[in-house]
Amino acid sequence: MATRSESGPTVYLNARLLDPRSGLDVQGALFADKGVIQDLGPRLFNDGVPEGVEVVDCAGACLAPGLVDMRVQLGEPGHEHKETIQTASKAAAAGGITSMVALPNTDPVVDDVAGIEFIARRAREEKLVKVYGYGAVTRRLEGRELVEIGLLSEYGALGFTDGLQAVADAQVMRRALSYSRTVDTVILQHPQEPSLAGGVMNSGELATRLGLAGNHPLNEVIMIERDLRLVEMTGGRYHVANVTCAESVEVVRRAKARGLPVTASTAPHYMILNETAVGDYRTFAKVTPPLRSEADREAVAAGVADGTIDALASDHTPHDQDAKRLPFSLAEPGIVGLETLLPLSLALVHNGRMSLLELLRRLTEGPAEILKGRADLTPGLPCDIVIFDPERPATIDPDRFRSKSKNSPFEAHMVQGVVLRSVVDGRSIFALDSGRRAA
């Protein structure tokens, strides 16, 4: 399939149309013009395509809303040697992601209007995927003084988080949740009680054998349970990012049953890997929160499958070799994930845990709804779509990533699922080269 940069009239023929919002799952076609979805369905253009219309033959591949990645660490500003908005955007496009939201823990921290405007301006300059930003909850991520939540929301902040740090002070979190209700935004928490979370990997027998400090799953559960009490007090919208353990899933499940305005997300590595991935001091498997036990991994995957966990995010955290080629306790946590989000997540479909349509809901409509957006195939919406082959085998090769950083524990990992094309506002911004692997 060729790449074109303009957004003229284009019809995508012979596609398996998948839209989690409407439940659509049929063979058919989609027509887009002027950057907007005009029409779609099983009988569209059955009598032929009008002259002057670009035709993309999908050859039976899946066509779905573009993925929405709600947790991405950008290196820009401040750490451009690890990642820039341009390289992250190219990596996202190759992964089928058409919208991503950047964490605020850059240098400087995004805690004012200038920071939000910087992200928006750089995204417009690159004209690749749509890049949005979160505002920090507290100034300079220091956990004390709240940012101007209302003002930053007006300028486009999609939510508020202190990134890789928890908002530890209960009074600060209570006030943040109260303000979030006033301006109808969401507070996203990194669920680690900092006074207890000093370890570098999951606590237990393996950590003891390796001589590494352990991080107990209760660090996560304690923080979530405290915050849920504050949600009950304030009515503010609350999101738990990077759920990693069984008890957290259960706590969120019970909170939802009580009708609290709580949502949750996790990343593919918490569903696929367990703590044994760090068994040889492999720093590429060091993440925060850490990889947990096999029982926790299984519970997180089950939580995604039954909808307790609303969204899947890449948790893309680029690091150069200087940050990772260190003793385990000193290495920076985090892995890159923009280009592997879809193929790794498809494992839940291939092992029979959930339908393809439900998985796409966790990758599109789920995160979009948390952030008060849309990601579906309704006519009149921007044509942000991904075309992919869910059955095509591939081998993950970090050396081929578009991202500047290659810190992935999934090197040589076999997957089933390849992104063929990504389209933003009707513009094809990525098309897989013939014969080239996508991951």
Q: Which residues are catalytic?
A: 315
Q: Residue 105 in 3-state DSSP?
A: coil
391: its two tokens: 């059955």
d(CA 434, CA 384): 22
Q: Is the CA virtual torsion 397, 353, 191, 295 positive or negative?
A: negative
Q: Residue 4 is which amino acid?
A: R
329: its two tokens: 């306790």
Q: How far, in whole angstroms, is CA 120 from its chain's centroid?
A: 18
d(CA 10, CA 63): 14
List C-alpha distances in Å: 194 to 143, 169, 191, 262, 289. Answer: 11, 10, 9, 21, 11
Is the separation of the CB atoms in 69 and 54 below 8 Å? no
| Neighbour order of strands in the sheet with 130-133 | 67-72, 97-102, 130-133
Say which DSSP state 278 is in: G
CA atoms within 13 A on the CB side of 104: 32
d(CA 150, CA 254): 30
d(CA 397, CA 394): 9
Q: Residue 390 class from Cβ within 10 Å (0-12 exposed, 13-18 middle, 19+ buried)? A: buried
d(CA 197, CA 265): 20
Beta bridge partners of 64: 386
210: its two tokens: 């390796």
Give the closest residue to 385 by CA, choosing from 331, 336, 423. Answer: 423
